[in-house]
Amino acid sequence: MSFTLPDLPYSYDALAPYMSRETLEYHHDKHHLAYVNNGNNLLKGTEWEGKSLEEIVKGSFGKNPGLFNNAGQHYNHIHFWKWMKPGGGGDKIPGALEKKIVSDLGSVAKFKEDFIQAGVTQFGSGWNWLAVKDGKLVITKTANGENPLVHGATPILGCDVWEHSYYIDYRNRRPDYLKAFVDHLVNWDYVAELYEKAAK
């Protein structure tokens, strides 16, 4: 398979004022597209041609950095667009997932605090995550295009803390961007869907 850029699941104005049209135009139309195009070029002639995106991400990690960076970012961004929705965030967490957050991470409030802190403390470009590892929810952070898949876990929520994701709207205020993501953007239905799949 080759990589293709998915459409955003909402309009470019849908996430304002927390994420602007301008940010989504640059982030989706230019940055994500570049990962798709570079990934397709780097995939040609490798042993991973014809494999699924997850197989490419896991297989190229530590072996083919150029391909891995672009495939990893393609995977991360496909989900990132779906991890947000207009009117999202807050405490509207589907029951089973909310229970699991409370039992594994202390409370919903503690989850939010620790998730935001992971993003704030990721030095340089990267992502902060809520992932399922060995049947438990964990909060992690990774650099650049890495994600929990290459560390034996399944990501169910991630926030892009590359500057291209927030600098237009928040300048250097990464903590404000992360708080807005958690309070107003997270699509908990999609997170719950991924949790159900990972928990099987």
Residue 122: DSSP 8-state: S
Q: Which CB sits closer to Fe ion, 3 or 162? A: 162
Binding segment toward Fe ion, per CB under 5 A, in 9-17, 142-150, 163-171, 178-186: 163-171
Asked whether the beta carbons of 178 and 118 are under 8 A apart, the reply is no
Angle at 55 between CA 118 and CA 73, to 5 degrees: 40
Q: Which CB sits closer to Fe ion, 69 or 165? A: 165
Binding segment toward Fe ion, per CB under 5 A, in 51-59, 129-137, 160-168, 173-181: 160-168
Q: Which CB sits closer to Fe ion, 70 or 140? A: 70
CB of 165 to Fe ion, least distance (A): 5
Q: Which CB sits closer to Fe ion, 146 or 160? A: 160
Q: What are the C-alpha distances in Å from 111 to residues 26, 38, 93?
A: 30, 35, 12
Distance in angstroms (rounded) separating the CA atoms of residues 72 and 61: 9
Three-state DSSP class for 140?
strand
Q: What does the block give as tokens for 197?
A: 């799949």
Q: Which CB sits closer to Fe ion, 130 or 160? A: 160
Binding segment toward Fe ion, per CB under 5 A, in 3-11, 84-92, 154-162, 185-193: 154-162
Q: What does the block give as tokens for 88?
A: 């999202």
Binding segment toward Fe ion, per CB under 5 A, in 94-102, 103-111, 162-170, 190-198: 162-170
Three-state DSSP class for 45?
coil
Which of 42, 88, 146, 160 is the binder for Fe ion (CB under 5 A)? 160
Does position 146 interact with Fe ion (CB under 5 A)? The reply is no
CB of 164 to Fe ion, least distance (A): 5
- How many residues bind Fe ion (CB under 5 A)? The answer is 3
Q: What does the block give as tokens for 155?
A: 């990501």
Instruction: Give the strand order in the sheet containing 126-133.
Output: 136-143, 126-133, 154-160
Instruction: Report the interface residues with Fe ion, using CB under 5 A.
Output: 160, 162, 165
